[in-house]
Amino acid sequence: MPAATRSATKQPTLEEVKGTETEGKKANETGQRKAVNSKKRKADSGESTPKQSKSQKAAPPSQQDPQENDDHITINRAPVLELWTSCVTHLLYPDVSWDTCLSVGGAIATITAISKGRSIGTMDKPDPGEAQERRRKRMEKAEKEELEEIEVMGFKLRMKDGHAEVGDKPKKGSEAALKKKFGDEQYERVKLSFEQALGGWEGKEHELDGSAFKMYEHFRPSIPPGQKGWGKKGQLNLHTVKDVVGAD
């Protein structure tokens, strides 16, 4: 939001003062009259130009509009994806608790972080044979325990006791931890922005599910590519969120 400005107070123009008659007066009287008139002009000038109070003086740019930077949040990508996914999950599955939605959000944020870390060489890639064996065991376990699955934004997650699993471990959602990453006030503002933007997708949940991750990729904070951007913060623009997510 552009900073509010106010036009400077236009100073009143002083009236021209006519010369004092000096005919028939002595030279010293003329000099005295000029001195008096000079003092009078200064007094008149002071009376016609009231002093500005401290409250009237222009405030520094940072204080003129406290809301100026409210639409720009400095944050890492992971908590943005976590909160975004939680809000999307809540719209796709309205009967699911918010704790479960946060668990799904945390699981997907963790999976994408691991994938990113491996792709840029920050995290070691698992041995292909070992990875395949772990997947086989997880599938057998899921079938044996009859674990339910939830699908959000193209990610299929196994659910146990209301928590999404990453590997074979449950990912518990923690709103308190997520708020700490954002800051309480910013968390509430971003959450509200996500919910309002997603409101237009009610009745079109299937279309949303197929597009929600791409939406995130368009509005997520910008950071340098590759290892230079690993762990870096960027700017989340809530105006961009509204433009990207807004349903037709």
**59-113: pLDDT as tens digits:** 343 333 333 457 899 999 999 999 999 999 999 999 999 999 999 999 999 999 9
90 domain-assigned? yes
Distance CA 52, CA 149 (A): 68
Question: Is the residue at 55 inside a domain?
Answer: no
**pLDDT tops 80 at residue 160:** yes
Has residue 152 been placed in a domain?
yes
> Whole-number mean pLDDT of the chain?
76
- The residues with which 170 forms a beta bridge, in sequence order, are 165
**What is the distance between the alpha carbons of residues 148 and 156, in angstroms, rounded to a whole number?**
10
The answer on pLDDT for 117 being more than 80 is yes
Which amino acid would we find at residue 184? D
- Please count the residues of the chain: 248
Residue 99 in any domain: the answer is yes
State the CB neighbour count (10 A cutoff) for residue 87: 23
Rounded Cα distance, 4 and 173, in Å: 41
Read off the pLDDT of residues 34-52 as tens digits, 9 standing for 90 and up: 444 444 444 444 444 444 4
The token pair at 211 is 């597009």
Is the pLDDT confidence value at 232 over 60? yes
Looking at the domain assignment, is residue 37 inside a domain? no
**Does residue 48 lie in a domain region?**
no
> Which residues neighbour 210 within 8 Å (Cβ) at sequence distance 6 or greater?
154
Task: Tell me the C-alpha distance between 78 and 84, whole Å.
Answer: 10
The whole domain housing 138 covers: 72-245
* 123: in domain: yes
Number of domains in the chain: 1
205 compared with 59, residue with greater pLDDT: 205
Residue 22 lies in a domain: no
What pLDDT was estimated at residue 24?
A: 40
pLDDT above 60 for 244? yes
Q: How far apart are the first and last CA of the chain?
A: 25
What is d(CA 90, CA 217) in angstroms, rounded to the nearest whole number?
A: 20
